[in-house]
């Protein structure tokens, strides 16, 4: 049972459907997350504006989904993991890439550096080591991209915490039922 009350039917639902389609958040109705978030128009507007701005950034849609999957798994947000598995497929990530992203891992060195950096940000609450920062630079990420990574992490943490707090019901079943478990804490570099 949800802790928050979804938005009522009417004009706002039509607007939410248009927003969901524009941001690729759902093509079969309004996602439960937006139905609940819409109870606070300023919060919903802030979330949506951040989503739209970051979608125009330097990071690819695939990288943004990989970040979202890693963060959701670390935070134990089943709702966000489920939603981003679906989104990840829509931007061309394979099942293997999705599963690896949920474990903050990747086959190629650049994506691996990205996901390790994301994991470090979340687990160490932003106080990452010089080594982790240097690894991002060494694999070709610009300062602009590093800042965008942090912005994507922050936006996903908000969505994770919101859905955990609200106990949001899944919009659709997980494809790999039973695989949800918070990401085990892996060693990350010392500060």
The verdict on residue 4 lying in a domain is no
Using the predicted structure, report yes or no on whether residue 8 has a pLDDT greater than 80. Answer: no
The dihedral region occupied by 166, where left means phi > 0, alpha psi between -120 and 50, and beta the remainder, is: alpha
**Same domain? 82 vs 156:** yes
Quick one: average pLDDT of 37-59? Answer: 91
- Domain span at residue 110 reads 61-166
Could you tell me if 149 and 141 are in contact, meaning their C-beta atoms sit under 8 angstroms apart? Answer: yes
The dihedral region occupied by 150, where left means phi > 0, alpha psi between -120 and 50, and beta the remainder, is: alpha
**Same domain? 142 vs 156:** yes
Return d(Cα 52, Cα 75) in angstroms, integer: 23
The verdict on residue 1 lying in a domain is no
**Same domain? 50 vs 65:** no
Phi, psi of 142 (to 5 degrees): -80, 170
**Same domain? 76 vs 34:** no
Q: What percent of the chain has pLDDT over 90?
A: 56
Q: What is residue 37's predicted lDDT score, i.e. its pLDDT? A: 87
The verdict on residue 77 lying in a domain is yes
pTM beyond 0.75: yes
**Same domain? 79 vs 114:** yes
The verdict on residue 176 lying in a domain is no
**Same domain? 139 vs 111:** yes
The verdict on residue 25 lying in a domain is yes
Using the predicted structure, report yes or no on whether residue 175 has a pLDDT greater than 70. Answer: no
């Amino acid at each position: 049972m949800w802790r928050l009350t979804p938005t009522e039917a009417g004009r706002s639902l039509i607007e939410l459907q248009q927003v969901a389609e524009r941001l690729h958040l759902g093509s079969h109705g309004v996602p439960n997350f937006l139905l609940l978030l819409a109870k606070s128009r300023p919060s919903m507007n802030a979330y949506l504006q951040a989503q739209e701005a970051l979608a125009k950034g330097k990071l690819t849609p695939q990288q943004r989904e990989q970040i979202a999957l890693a963060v959701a798994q670390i935070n134990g947000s089943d709702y966000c993991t489920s939603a981003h598995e679906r989104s990840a497929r829509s931007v061309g990530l394979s099942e293997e890439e999705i599963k690896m992203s949920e474990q903050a891992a990747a086959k190629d060195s650049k994506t691996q550096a990205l996901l390790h950096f994301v994991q470090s940000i979340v687990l160490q609450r932003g106080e990452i080591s010089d080594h982790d920062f240097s690894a991002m630079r060494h694999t070709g990420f610009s300062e602009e991209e590093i800042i965008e990574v942090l912005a994507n992490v922050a936006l996903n943490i908000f969505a994770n915490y919101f859905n955990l707090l609200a106990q949001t019901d899944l919009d659709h079943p997980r494809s790999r039922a039973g695989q949800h478990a918070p990401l085990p804490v892996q060693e990350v570099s010392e500060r």
